Amino acid sequence: MSLRKLLAITTSFVLAVAGLAAAGDRAGAVGETWTITDTTTLTVGGSGLAYGDGVFVGVNCVSGAGNEFLVSSDGSTWINLGTASDICMTSITYGDGKFVALSQYDRHIHVSDDGGLNWDQIDPTVANFAEWTGITYGAGRFVAVSFFPGRKVLTSTDAVTWTAIDADAASSTIDQTQWRDIAYGNGIFVGISHYSRSLTSPDGLTWTLTSSLPVGAADIAFGNGTFVAVASSGALRVMTSTDGVNWTAPSLSGAPATSAWNDVTWDPAGSQFVAVGTSAVMTSPDGTNWTMGTVPAANGWSAVTAGASMLVAAASSGTNNRIMTAGSYSYTPPPPPTTPTPPSTPTTDPVVGPAYTG
């Protein structure tokens, strides 16, 4: 059963994707004003969000079985899915036609190639003791980082077979690292840590550790040639870099300078970064100049993603209103692959000679 058919069954109405969108101008106020979604019947933990191929998938770190995943084919109508085990999902990304998510309690990698409907649990036995906290996809490779114990990086080209790397063995103690998230751009992977460190790699295999972050960071995103990291505490709440080594903290005033920022994403349709935090949202075209938005609920907004000309954010706190959206869903599925028609084999009529008369 397809995801869209399942959503139609589990809700009281059907939203046809073709009729949802009005392709239109995303510039201007999109990302500054948001609409709340009623989540009365849903479990929303706000650990992470990702978008891929017309589908939004969220992950939860909540107690109880069966609600680890949150899936929507339009950004407005959602369903919970999950397994029978009590696990804590921490992060999710999309790449190579797959959603790949991390779990904290069972240390497994969870992979879906059907839009988040069904999930395979992969046990990366090479490093199944780590608490994986951030994952990204770039240059044909998935790369995950761990918060505890620090140092460990997990990498895979197919999301099935994983290799563990002791990426920052030069650090004197594990507590000097504790990686929170990772992003890819400008031909490099960049990880950020709770302890004001960054980790860079050109290929996901060989890593360089630096102590260059102005403050400990909570999340990182790449867009428009720039890495942007946000922080939930400290004197500086936003940091930018083009190489993951040299960072600049722009001067922020008002709410951006004091809000606890939990997550940031790049919105390609709006050409802007979008950051969410405690009762707050803000946008920026370059990571330096930010505009505060208006949130419809004073929640602890902890995850945000962009896709299909739409923004979706989820919260780790709040009552019956833990999802908010901005923009209008607009998605055109790619054309199905075509099978080339083999060239026809020319036929040659037999040569008929003149009739013999004798």
pLDDT for the residue numbered 330: 95
CB 216 within 8 A of CB 268: no
Q: What is the largest CA-CA distance in the chain?
A: 113
pLDDT tens digits, 291-327: 999 999 999 999 999 999 999 999 999 888 999 999 9
130 inside domain: yes
DSSP 237-253: -EEEESSSSS-B-----
9 inside domain: no
Q: CA gyration radius for the chain?
A: 24
As for how many domains the chain has, the answer is 1
pLDDT for the residue numbered 352: 52
Cβ-based neighbours of 304, under 8 Å, separated by 6 or more: 49, 263, 264, 265, 274, 275, 276, 281, 311, 312, 313, 314
What percentage of the chain's residues is helix, strand, coil (to nearest 5)? 5, 40, 55
% the chain with pLDDT above 90: 60
83 inside domain: yes
**Collapsing DSSP states into helix, strand and coil, what is residue 334?**
coil
**Residue 354 binned pLDDT confidence (cut-offs 50, 70, 90):** low
**Collapsing DSSP states into helix, strand and coil, what is residue 262?**
strand
26 inside domain: no
Q: What's the token pair of residue 355?
A: 């009739």
pLDDT tens digits, 15-74: 333 333 333 333 445 788 899 999 999 999 999 999 999 999 999 987 766 789 999 999
62 inside domain: yes
% the chain with pLDDT above 70: 82
28 inside domain: no
332 inside domain: no
CB 312 within 8 A of CB 52: no
AA identity, residue 241: S
pLDDT for the residue numbered 176: 60
CATH number at residue 149: 2.130.10.10
Enumerate the H helices of the chain as residue ranges.
3-10, 17-20, 255-258
Q: Which of 311, 308, 275, 264 is nearest to 52 (CA)?
A: 308
Interatomic CA distance for residues 331 and 312, integer angstroms: 15
Q: Give me the sign of the Cα torsion angle 136, 139, 140, 144.
A: negative
AA identity, residue 304: V
Interatomic CA distance for residues 311 and 264, integer angstroms: 12
How many degrees, rounded to 5, is the angle at CA 69 between CA 10 and CA 127?
155
- Residue 255 domain boundaries: 35-326
Residue 134 has pLDDT above 80, yes or no: yes
15 inside domain: no
pLDDT for the residue numbered 32: 85
CB 286 within 8 A of CB 267: no
Q: Which of 134, 128, 129, 175 is nearest to 151 (CA)?
A: 175
| Bridge partners, 293 (sequence order) | none
Q: Record the pTM.
A: 0.86
